[in-house]
Structure 1
């Protein structure tokens, strides 16, 4: 009886001690240090690649544990709460906002060895004029429009280089498939799908053409938002002509790869892991990607991009040395290559030659310039949600194209003043 009570007492004591240790404390039994890491990876393929990298690091450094988290759509709201409390994860993904949103919260990584190999295309995004380096890029985005290359070849449709050509291709797909193929597919249950549409097309509409360049007005707050109305007008026109999926407002991202593998989708804005996911389901279907078509005559196509997934270190972490070890590990050539290839995106380091699903397309369009994401340069924080929600309201009939632009103008002014 006495022995049973001793065992019970030991269990209680161990439970109390364990409860009293935070996840970041070094345990007394040699268990090491735990670092929290938050990533914006959402696809199962991307999360798998990251989890494998974490596991490999923990195997090499058993005294350091990485607690990786993938909050999905809730990532931005979660990080905003943590910023307000000045209690961020030890390591986190800056998802395109390394300088503008998270700049004051991240440690300077300029002294790390990998910096000398940073792709110059990322300099303006991840460095400042004083030389501070804000985050380590796991990969970099080259976003355009993804398409069913097998289907387009069957229908004799060339990948479009102009918006007019894009609209014509959508109509051809609808006609030649007798309506069995969705010309332009959106996972519209997630408002960010419409945010992606507006963000990617805003660059050729408002920035890259010399005769229609509104950079100065956008940056100084004097932009006339009637110039934006073209985009909601065209999106509404696509819906009215039956060029979007009928379930555009309820479709979910999980459906995308399956439908593309069944050749039920012509074009979509997804990139990265879509191609490999489709190949796994149906090797007979090839997914291609083309740079953003031009809207104004005489302009040149462009990729939309910058940092995709990154790892930054919270400047107030208690475990700076351990956090830097994790980034140093990720920057090792074999690990950096594996992550880039696993996410089907170019590496963030110029020394890494990553062969991935879309390599032939990136090589085909290697001379096409990469333009930064529109909202990250020209819009105040918070406008991404506005772009997405106005897209949903537009297609649900609650807003007109003109009202979309008016709402954008209102929120642009309000958020700039915050």
Structure 2
């Protein structure tokens, strides 16, 4: 009897302990839930879908260091982002931290009063002064470009070495290079006309045809015209490329993924986009050796610019946000050299952050474009009116669709003059 009673008491003690543990766990779960519910949710929006995994890792590190902040990242296709981002930001509930393209989108967002002035924030000192000037207006730092991109064709260096091709320094040398590629049944330039279009290629195609870096500013003020030589010559160059097999067949019907696959399969020597696609090409074909090769459309003695650069993916804080301090913490985190290095190497991007360490062969091999080459800022992003930009790009597409350069230029100029008026 005594043994039975002792056993019963022991079971009762176990049950009580279990209840206590359960109660303790419930209290812990309740505390965790309460803590999570008290965390500030910070909205971060951008257009770089290819950076998703890298950003997720960086965000996890930020949240570990800042457990009172949860970041909700939303990524939109670039064309959709350009069209809809401004509307998303208006009420302050979306995009506490957001990104902006330079040029017309930056101007539109500035006019809408969506930027928080970052001029006096300590983290601005973590960025190189020159590249981030594109995010300045009216004496204020409204946005901070994170990426330093080279908007000119990527080329297969290994293929050039096998064929004994040198990087051309003049239009005649460029033609000889293309002739060799065509003789070897290689498409010289894979052109993604269906989705990217001439957005990137136009910059290096015109860089030495229109040496005046204020040419689009003058176009918008009425001082310049697309019917002048600087633009008609550029359209003639596009026509020449299209009619002489420099682009693949049905260039306007080829999307970005197909064009990239052509280069990865070594069916094409160059991709008409920019340095931001180098990492993705390496994923498709790890054996590729890549470099940057803009078209040279003038004689060697007339070459002034060797390439194109852009400071883009401009980080900003929504002026309508109620979480500006948390937003500043996140941008500060992204500007730390070790985090920026992780982002750079994970995405294959050069950055504007100081003291970034580039690990990949492609980034190391193209870093000399930052210091040793004379590049100009992407001309397209100096167009501030969206309607003008559409007209300029449309004139190229019309030429690729068999319109004459003169007719395409005249039609685009008519549209621009209507908008100026």
Q: Which TM class, normalised by the smaller chain length?
A: 0.7 to 0.9
Alpha-carbon contact 2:151-2:310 (below 8 Å) kept: no
Q: Which runs of 5+ in 2 are unaligned?
A: 1-32
Q: Which SS does the other structure have where 1:143 is aligned? A: coil
Indicate yes or no: 2:201 matched with 1:197.
yes
For 2:146 and 2:218, the matched residues in 1 are separated by: 33
Indicate yes or no: 2:45 matched with 1:38.
yes
Alpha-carbon contact 1:138-1:339 (below 8 Å) kept: no
Alpha-carbon contact 2:197-2:252 (below 8 Å) kept: no
Cα offset, 1:74, TM superposition = 0.9
Indicate yes or no: 2:113 matched with 1:107.
no
Q: Which runs of 5+ in 1 are unaligned?
A: 1-25
Higher mean C-alpha deviation, range 363-372 or range 262-271: 363-372
345, 350, 353: which one pairs with 2:354? 350
Q: Which SS does the other structure have where 1:340 is aligned? A: helix
Report the CA distance shift for 1:195/1:273 in structure 2 as closer, same or farther (over 3 A): closer
Quote the residue 2:19 is aligned against. Answer: none
149, 158, 180: which one pairs with 2:157? 149
Report the CA distance shift for 1:270/1:215 in structure 2 as closer, same or farther (over 3 A): closer
For 1:55 and 1:376, the matched residues in 2 are separated by: 33
* 1:269-303 alpha-carbon deviations (Å, 9 max, x no partner): 22334333333333332111135636363332333
Q: Which SS does the other structure have where 1:317 is aligned? A: coil
Quote the residue 2:386 is aligned against. Answer: 381
Indicate yes or no: 2:298 matched with 1:290.
no
For 1:116 and 1:365, the matched residues in 2 are separated by: 19
Quote the residue 2:323 is aligned against. Answer: 319
Higher mean C-alpha deviation, range 356-365 or range 116-125: 356-365
Cα offset, 1:261, TM superposition = 2.1
Give the structure with higher Rg (CA): 2
Cα offset, 1:378, TM superposition = 4.4
For 1:49 and 1:237, the matched residues in 2 are separated by: 41
Report the CA distance shift for 1:349/1:415 in structure 2 as closer, same or farther (over 3 A): farther
Quote the residue 2:226 is aligned against. Answer: 225
After TM superposition, the structure 1 = structure 2 runs for residues 329-344 of structure 1, keeping only pairs within 5 Å, are 329-344=333-348
Quote the residue 1:81 is aligned against. Answer: 87
95, 113, 119: which one pairs with 2:128? 119
Higher mean C-alpha deviation, range 247-256 or range 313-322: 247-256
For 1:380 and 1:274, the matched residues in 2 are separated by: 27
Higher mean C-alpha deviation, range 260-269 or range 111-120: 111-120
Indicate the RMSD between aligned Cα atoms, in angstroms.
2.8
After TM superposition, the structure 1 = structure 2 runs for residues 4-23 of structure 1, keeping only pairs within 5 Å, are none
Quote the residue 2:210 is aligned against. Answer: 206
Cα offset, 1:118, TM superposition = 2.1
Report the CA distance shift for 1:251/1:174 in structure 2 as closer, same or farther (over 3 A): same
For 1:31 and 1:385, the matched residues in 2 are separated by: 46
Indicate yes or no: 2:249 matched with 1:246.
yes
Q: Which SS does the other structure have where 1:109 is aligned? A: coil
Q: Which SS does the other structure have where 2:338 is aligned? A: helix
Report the CA distance shift for 1:77/1:281 in structure 2 as closer, same or farther (over 3 A): closer
For 1:55 and 1:171, the matched residues in 2 are separated by: 50
For 2:268 and 2:94, the matched residues in 1 are separated by: 40
Cα offset, 1:28, TM superposition = 9.1
